[in-house]
A and B are shown apart, each in its own frame.
Chain A
Amino acid sequence: MAIHIQMAIRKNRLFVRLNGELDQAVTEKLKVRISELIDKYEIRYVIFNFENLHFMDSSGIGFIIGRYSQIKKRHGRIVICSMNQLIERIFNLSGLKKICLVAKTEDEAEKMVEVA
């Protein structure tokens, strides 16, 4: 696969750190793993760390929307941090801004959900 994934759970928060390229081939597989974790651990906040994500197309947007619908019922939030310029352009174009919080770093992202 074109990507390396690291996940961690703290309380009701799932941290997803992606290293590589996020496209349809990756989201098809990742979707199953992450959905299971979200339901099993009753995750309310998903924090995507995109610091080492070099590429994302609209498959990534669909994938994030999917996770949002999953945690919405628990009044959860999605936070995306450390986006590079290209990914931020795709992100802005998609309207994801309306449903996701954006942070500069993972620490900042975690603080956001502490007050949320």
Chain B
Amino acid sequence: MYNEIKSTFSAKIENVMLARTIGIAFLVELDLTLNFVNEVKTVISEAITNAIVHGCLSNENKVVQLNMSYDDVNIYIEVIDKGVGIADIEKAREPLFSTKVDEERAGLGFTIMEVFTDKLEVRSRVGDGTKVIMVKKYHGENN
């Protein structure tokens, strides 16, 4: 079994809701529990928000991509931006770290992504952008 969806959004913060709605609609076929779906919804929201706010600096002329797929075992979520990139990925992944301290950001985005998925990979180069890859197992889980 395999299925995939690729979607591209303007880097507008209003589109985060659209992205997570599309993301969970894509998974309807899999008959997942509400709790599991909510976890996916949350990690999409975190990754897309990061891509728009931190990657694209909320520049609406830029775009962010949400690519999702699943096979018999896993769900794969990719969030890509061609934004500013992350200088220190290790630091960015630390709980409570935020580059925008004055803007009431919790610095928990990556922590939530890590807790709610089975694998989180962040690839980034300053000036080129960032790609976040998440893998979440659904088959055989007691979900």
Contacts and interface: CB of A to CB of B under 8 A. Distances in A.
Interface residues of A, number: 22
Given A86-B42, A93-B112, A31 B104 contact: yes
B41 A24 contact: no
B57 interface: no
Contact of A23 (B49, B105, B112): B49
A55 to B, nearest CB: 7
Interface stretch (A8-16, A38-46, A59-67, A72-80): A59-67
Interface residues of B, number: 24
B104 A23 contact: no
A29 to B, nearest CB: 10
Contacts of B107: 58, 62
A18 to B, nearest CB: 14
Interface string B73-114: 000000000000000000000000000000111111101100
Contacts of A25: 13-14, 16-17
A21 B21 CA distance: 11
B8 interface: no
A100 to B, nearest CB: 13
A27 B35 CA distance: 24
Interface of B: 13-14, 16-17, 35, 38-39, 41-42, 45-46, 49, 52-53, 103-109, 111-112, 115
10 contacts: A24-B13, A24-B53, A25-B13, A25-B16, A27-B104, A57-B45, A58-B105, A61-B106, A93-B112, A94-B108
